[in-house]
Structure 1
């Protein structure tokens, strides 16, 4: 007789690693793959609407710019990367991911089915780096910066990510964007306060797009444009 442990409702841990930012876990829950960081649920393979909107909204705000380059932070379950790579309009697609475990799960692990085709695309590349440090230090520039490293500006995965949404962090985001470039930030809930922070940081055309959910507060994507 099957036990409750054998049922699809019981999550199965596929890999658990201790990294420089704490514990990262990949688990299977029924047909879903889930990423958990330091006990905080990050994302799973159930939908992907939010990630697709994040990428599409950024591209739409670029007003037809030819072959724009995009920096995506981070890799997650790969929905953002896969969706960007499926669109021939994007030029260079760079993903910043600080967790080696997540990169490995995509290169030769359970998440490779979602990202294999995208990673084979010559336009794409993964940089193993902390996004906060990367935007502060890099000399590279992009047409779009899509952020999906937290559950939102007010609900960060690690304490150090708070600085990304500060005036100095937003200034770094603006610095790596070319004139007219777009910052797109995914959040599990709307944040009028963050909209105000974007305006105060000098961004223009600040707006919020909602992603309908089955119940509760909708997910959103915050959008803002660097002055041209």
Structure 2
């Protein structure tokens, strides 16, 4: 018999109601009644980070979305990553990662190479002027399934231009998705060039996907859209 979830915290966040609950030894985050993430596996989040860090020039990595901390932990553990900036707009998610979730990722936020920025990525990134060797984007459930409407702006042409502008020459971008998005993959290829799609099977439903691409080492004209 499966264990019943126990609600540990319930708050109003930027996206609406956020709930942290525990099921046995694992934790789940629910936003507006929609399951977002849990601590049961984290394989696709680790794959996303490795896909970027293995391919990027050594340097700084940006993680868009803290989640349950698996991406941050994987980035800190990679030898090519010197610093990780993680941008998370939900204060509760940051607090949970400094509280009950820290046991699942070794208190990654306490690492001196980690910097957590508590703001919306869409607001912070263009204003920051910062550039990175790699960007891992894990916000909502991907291009075609956003919990909050505003996050869709990340996956359109203007959002991709913003991400490209924050990457150093040869920098690598990975985007996590809960399912297939042919339209987004085509848009990504039109902006950056070749796109690699990595697949991670899940117990139920479509596999998780990670789209990986990079900006060229030498500046060239933007691909025709």
1:201-224 CA-partner distances (Å, limit 9, x unpaired): 2x0231211112234321110011
> Equivalent residues in 2 for 1:67-216 (5 A)?
68-107=59-98, 109-201=99-191, 203-216=192-205
Corresponding residue SS for 1:92: strand
Q: Secondary structure at the match of 2:213?
A: strand
Distance in 2 separating the partners of 1:186 and 1:195: 11
CA drift of 1:8 comes to 5.5
Instruction: Name the CA shift for 1:121/1:204 in 2 (closer, same or farther; >3 Å).
Output: same
Q: Give the whole-Å Cα distance in 2 for the aligned partners of 1:226 and 1:157.
A: 28
Contact 1:106–1:116 (Cα < 8 Å) also in 2: no
Give how far 1:116 is off.
Answer: 4.0
Question: Could you list the runs of 5+ residues in structure 1 that have no partner in the other structure?
Answer: 1-6
Q: Distance in 2 between matches of 1:42 and 1:57?
A: 22
Which residue number corresponds to residue 206 of structure 2? 217
Taking the aligned partners of 2:216 and 2:80, their CA distance within structure 1 comes to 22
Cα distance in 2 between the residues matched to 1:149 and 1:122? 24
Shift of residue 132, structure 1, vs aligned partner: 1.8
TM-score (norm 2): 0.91
* SS class of match (2:82): coil
Report the TM-score when normalising by structure 1: 0.90
1:17 aligns with 2:18: no
| Structure 2 residue corresponding to 1:27, chosen from 21, 31, 56 | 21
Structure 1 position 27, deviation (Å): 0.3
Give ranges in structure 2 of 5+ residues lacking alignment: 218-225
**Shift in Å at residue 118 of structure 1?**
2.1
Give the Cα separation in 2 of the matches to 1:43 and 1:227: 33
Aligned residues: 217
Separation (CA, whole Å) in 2 of partners of 1:61 and 1:86:
15
Q: Distance in 1 between matches of 2:200 and 2:2?
A: 28
Which of the residues 28, 32, 52 maps onto 1:38?
32
Query: What secondary structure does 2:186 align onto?
Result: helix
